[in-house]
Amino acid sequence: MIKRKLQDLAVCCSYQVDFLHEKKHSVKEFKRKYEVLDEIGRGGFGIVYEATSRQEGQQPVAVKFVQHKHVRSWTMTCRQLIPSEVCHLETCEDIPGVIKILDWFANSKGFLIVMERPENCMDLFDMISVHGPLNEDMAKFIFKQVITTVFDMYSKHGLLHRDIKDENLIVNMNTGEVKLVDFGATAYAEKATKKEFQGTRSYCPPEWFRDQLYLPLEATSWSLGVLLFILLTGKLPFKNEIQICLGNVRFPPELSKEVCQLVKSCLTTSTSARASLSQIAAHPWLETDRQFYNADLTFEEALMEIKNPVPVIEDKEAEDEDNELNDVVILTRSRDSRTDMDMESICTMVTAVEDRYEPSIAVKEFVAEEIVGTGETTNLMRSESRYDNISSSSFCDYVSLVSSSYDDQFTSTSDIYQSACEVFPHTR
């Protein structure tokens, strides 16, 4: 902890001294080149803004702002420390499915990473929320791009993203092209084995809950299985860590045996039996291609034209079993006093019974109070309505998020936002 604080202090001080870094990466140069517009989204470690280039053509870009203290790993280059995220993005420039980095800038507050941004784009989370689950052909079209990108990153550069989820996949709604974003947790495979699980709790593999064992390649396969299940059904395969450890997946009857087999091979609780990246990429279900929409249509128009699968209501027996598992989670946690619990346990209690695409209980209550008090509804931001939009390394972010919803404060990253406002004073 002390070593980390000293490192952060050294970085902050170095960016206060002009001759210690190149002027082309200064915030002054950033303001000369780009105009920041609205906030796109935020997470536990940074904020992403919509921006445009001031040069002719006004190219749309995305700008990610990360405070020094929220940089998860550093790399020494050009005689200065910069976030490893920048280096990894530059390394993967040859991979079409990785978001392109255009430039980066820094000052004493943090780093600004400028990336490409399609004019009409949406992440997979929002796409499924708006258009519903995908049919198999469309899910295959999306998933094939994802596995190709992940496999190329590993085979060509030895890199693992370590936080694959629907919110980190951006879809060009005109072409259907998928880009992988947010490389803050990315690491080389040989180094990743020495790290802890990094990612979203609902994508966490069972071996981490059982034995605190992190196997980066096996964890990647597991997260790909969760992602594919979400594409096909619009919901998570498991509701809590007990279900994750049991590994029993229920599929809608309309899904083909091939795709169910692929999902099961990724969501196998045994790490030795779990499908590898190469096995996933070579699976028979991904080998067959079929044109699923008219080439004259945009991808978004095709989404609206194609009838999505009708969600299947679980039978009473399955529902009762889920309720029993949820009761076990809650009762187990309630045996101890709340003050004796760590943040991870508190987070598990709150999130155990929530649905993936539904607002949290605390947020629902807050909205109800707002409607009664003011007669108006509140538009929830992304971070309030998605319980697992955090990394497992920042459980306290979620806890503070839930508690703050009663105090009219919705964001658990307000300190980041204040710093970003100092950099972009006109964005607030």
pLDDT, tens digit, 9 for 90 and up, residues 97-143: 999 999 999 988 899 999 999 989 999 999 999 999 999 999 999 99
Per-residue confidence band for 292, with pLDDT thresholds at 50, 70 and 90: confident
> What tokens does 291 get?
């044109």
> What tokens does 361 get?
């209980």
Question: How large is the average pLDDT for residues 271-278?
Answer: 98
**CA terminus-to-terminus distance, the chain:** 33
Largest CA distance in the chain: 69
Does the annotation count 315 as an active-site position? no
CA 13 from centroid of its chain's CA atoms: 31
**Catalytic pick from 123, 152, 163, 397?**
163
CA atoms of 10 and 350, how far apart (whole Å): 38
CA atoms of 12 and 16, how far apart (whole Å): 7
CA atoms of 33 and 54, how far apart (whole Å): 5
Helices assigned H by DSSP within 158-294: 189-192, 206-211, 216-233, 241-246, 257-266, 277-281, 284-287
| Inter-axis angle of helices 216-233 and 136-157, nearest 10 | 160
Per-residue confidence band for 44, with pLDDT thresholds at 50, 70 and 90: confident
CA atoms of 109 and 417, how far apart (whole Å): 11
Ramachandran category for residue 318: left, alpha or beta (phi over 0 → left; psi -120 to 50 → alpha): alpha
The one-character DSSP state at 409 is -
> What tokens does 343 get?
């943040």
- Output the pLDDT for position 316: 60
Residues in binding site: 64
Question: How large is the average pLDDT for residues 142-157?
Answer: 98
Question: How large is the average pLDDT for residues 63-77?
Answer: 89
Tell me: the pLDDT tens digits for 216-243? 999 999 999 999 999 999 999 999 999 9
| Inter-axis angle of helices 216-233 and 257-266, nearest 10 | 150
SS3 56: coil
Domain ranges of the chain: 2-118+418-423, 121-305, 316-410
Could you tell me if 63 and 118 are in contact, meaning their C-beta atoms sit under 8 angstroms apart?
A: no
DSSP states along 259-284: HHHHHHHHS-S-TTTSPPHHHHHT-H
Backbone CA torsion sign across 381, 384, 390, 396: positive
CATH topology (fold) of 121-305 = Transferase(Phosphotransferase); domain 1 (1.10.510)
Q: How many helices (H) and strands (E) does the chain have?
A: 19, 12
CA atoms of 424 and 428, how far apart (whole Å): 8
Question: How large is the average pLDDT for residues 289-307?
Answer: 82
Q: Are strands 101-106 and 80-83 parallel, antiparallel or unpaired?
A: unpaired
Backbone CA torsion sign across 310, 316, 317, 323: positive
SS3 122: strand
Sheet of 60-67, strand order: 34-42, 47-53, 60-67, 110-116, 101-106
Closest CA to 271 of 225, 199, 221, 228: 221
Tell me: the pLDDT tens digits for 201-220? 899 999 999 999 999 999 99
The yes-or-no verdict on residue 401 having pLDDT over 70 is no
**Continuous segment of H or E residues that includes residue 135:** none
Ramachandran category for residue 170: left, alpha or beta (phi over 0 → left; psi -120 to 50 → alpha): beta
CATH dotted code for 2-118+418-423:
3.30.200.20
Residues in binding site for ATP: 64
- Output the pLDDT for position 411: 38
